[in-house]
Amino acid sequence: MYDPKSMKAEEFINHEEILATLQYADENKDNLELIDQIIAKAKLRKGLNHREASVLLACENKEKIEELYALAKQIKIDFYGNRIVMFAPLYLSNYCVNGCVYCPYHHQNKDIPRIKLTQDQIRAEVIALQDMGHKRLAIEAGEDPVNNPIEYILESIKTIYSIQHKNGAIRRVNVNIAATTVENYRKLKEAGIGTYILFQETYHKESYEKLHPVGPKHNYAYHTEAMDRAMEGGIDDVGLGVLFGLELYRYEFAGLLMHAEHLEAVHGVGPHTISVPRIKRAADIDPTVFDNGIDDEIFAKLCALIRVCVPYTGMIISTRESQAVREKVLPLGVSQISGASRTSVGGYTEAVRPHESEQFDVSDSRTLDEVVRWLMEMGYIPSFCTACYREGRTGDRFMTLLKSGQIQNCCHPNALLTLKEYLMDYASPETRAIGEKLIAEQLPTIPNEKARAICAEHIADIANGKRDFRF
Ligand code: SAM
C-alpha cells in the first residue's frame, strides 16, 4: 500500500504505485491538455508530485519540453540567482565490507590498494584542499565497522575543522557514509556536519538486492529508511540521489520524488540537495555492462525536471560529468558543483592522476582556478559560502528563507564576499581580473540597500586583509 507518511520503505517507496505511475505517464504522454495543466501548476513554483512529474518525463513533444526547460531556467534564476556553490570530495578510507557490484571498493576486489588515512594524512589532504581555495568538503568512506567505525569518522571531522592554514578553513563538512543508527547520526550532528548525503543507488528493491549481494548495504529497508533515522538524530539537511544507469531512469525518478514527498510529509522538510550521479568506468568496473545508461539528453531532462518538481532543493553535479555536460545542465537548475576532485584516498597530496585507489574516473579534471574562471566567464558567481549552516539556517529554517525570497539579500552578498576572499587568496592573476570585474557588476544587483552597503564595506575589508570567517 502506498503511504507517503509510513515509516516503512516499501510503503513510502511503493513498487505498485511506481508501476501505476509509469503506466499513467505512458497513457498521458501525448495528452497535451493534461501536460499544459501540469506545466501551469509547475509555474506556481510549488513543485510537482511524482505522478505529474512522470508524465512530463514521458512526454516527447518538443514544444512542451522546450517550455519545461525555459521554466527550469527561470526557477533556477529566481530561486538561486547565478550562484554556484563549490565543494570537493575527500576520501578518507576505501576499506569496505559491502559487495556493491558497480563500485571498485567492493570487498572482493583484491587488486585495489586499501588505504585509510591517518589524522596526519587527513591534515595534509585538507591543507592541499585549503590551498586550492576550498571551504566545503564532502567526506567519503567505505562501510567497514572495524576499519572505519563512527569514532574514526568523528575524529576525522574534528581534525578537518581544526585546521587553520594561512587564510584557509573548512567551514562545512558534509558526510557521505553508509546508512547508520540514530545514535550515530546524533553524533554526526554533534560533530557539526552540514548535509548527510546517502545515495539510494536504486529504488527498485529487487535490483537493489542483486546489486548489493552481501554486506550490511544489502538491507534495502535499512538503507532506504536511513534519512528518517538521520532526521530523528537531529540532522535536518539530508541529500538524496540515485546512481543513474543501474535501473530504468523513469522508475528511479518516480522513486526519488516519492522519497522527497515522504520526507516532507513526515518531517516537514524535503531533501536539502539531490545529486544526479551517472555510473562511470572504474578499476574492475565496466559501466557498459549495466543496461540502463542514460544519454546526455535524458540526463538534461532529468535535471530540468528536478528543478521544476522540487524547486527548494539544491542540485549537485560532480566531476563524473564532463565540462560540456556541466555546461549544458548548469542553467537548468544546478546549484552546486565540485571542482578539482580526486576520487582516491590520499589523492590531493599525490602529484599525478589517475591513482590506483580511485573510486571512478572523473570527466572534468580541471583545476579549481580553471573551474572558477570558466563559471565566471559564463556569468555565474562561484560561491564558497557556508553561511546557511553556520548561522543555523538549516532544514526548515533554510527553506523558509528560500521560500520568502530573502535569499537574494543574504546568499547573493555572501557569494560575492566569499568569491572576493577566493580571488585575494588563491586565484591566478587572470582569474582574479575576471572576478573583480564580476563583483563590481554584481554588487549593485543586491536588492536591499542596507545589505548592499554592508557587502561593499566587507569587500573593502577583505581587500585590506581582514578575515573573520563569517560566511
Ligand atoms: N559507502 C558509502 C555508501 O554506501 O553510501 C559512501 C559513498 S561512495 C564513496 C559514494 C557514491 O559513489 C556511492 O553512493 C555510489 O552511488 C557512487 N559510485 C560508486 N561506484 C561508482 C561508479 N563506478 N561510478 C560512479 N559513481 C559510483
How far away, in angstroms, is 198 Cα from ligand 1 center?
A: 9
| 12/458: higher pLDDT | 12
Tens digit of each residue's pLDDT (9 = 90 or more) over 249-305: 999 999 999 999 999 999 999 999 999 999 999 888 898 899 899 999 999 999 999
Q: How confident is the model at residue 391 (pLDDT cuts 50, 70, 90)?
A: low
Give the mutation target among 87, 92, 102 for probing the ligand 1 site: most ligand atoms within 8 A of CB. Answer: 102
223 Cβ neighbours under 8 A, 6+ residues apart: 179, 198, 200, 208, 217
What is the position in ligand 1's atom list of the atom closest to the CA of 140?
A: 9
Give the mutation target among 103, 106, 275, 344 for probing the ligand 1 site: most ligand atoms within 8 A of CB. Answer: 103
Q: Give just the sign of the alpha carbon dihedral 272, 278, 283, 284.
A: positive
Tens digit of each residue's pLDDT (9 = 90 or more) over 61-75: 999 999 999 999 999
How far away, in angstroms, is 103 Cα from ligand 1 center?
A: 6
What is the position in ligand 1's atom list of the atom closest to the CA of 142?
A: 1
Residue 390 has pLDDT above 60, yes or no: no
Tens digit of each residue's pLDDT (9 = 90 or more) over 171-206: 999 999 999 999 999 999 999 999 999 999 999 999
Give the mutation target among 359, 360, 363 for probing the ligand 1 site: most ligand atoms within 8 A of CB. Answer: 359
Q: Looking at residue 56, what is its pLDDT?
A: 98
Dist CA 8 CA 274 (whole Å): 21
How far away, in angstroms, is 284 Cα from ligand 1 center?
A: 14
Give the mutation target among 202, 223, 243 for probing the ligand 1 site: most ligand atoms within 8 A of CB. Answer: 243
Kindly give the pairing relationship between strand 336-338 and strand 238-241. Answer: unpaired
How far away, in angstroms, is 371 Cα from ligand 1 center?
A: 23
118 Cβ neighbours under 8 A, 6+ residues apart: none
What is the position in ligand 1's atom list of the atom closest to the CA of 285?
A: 23
Q: Whole-prediction pTM value?
A: 0.96
What is the position in ligand 1's atom list of the atom closest to the CA of 243?
A: 16
Residue nearest to atom 25 of ligand 1 (CA): 279
245 Cβ neighbours under 8 A, 6+ residues apart: 102, 278, 279, 287, 290, 292, 293, 294
Report the alpha-carbon angle 236-238-244, nearest 5.
Answer: 165
For ligand 1, which residues put their CB under 6 angstroms from it?
Answer: 102-103, 140, 142-143, 176-178, 198-199, 201, 217, 243, 277, 279-280, 282, 285, 320, 359-360
Residue nearest to atom 4 of ligand 1 (CA): 178
b/e per residue 85-118 (b: at least 16 CB within 10 A)? bbbbbbbbbbbbbbbbebbbbbbebeebebbbbe
Dihedrals phi, psi of 336, to nearest 5 degrees = -140, 135
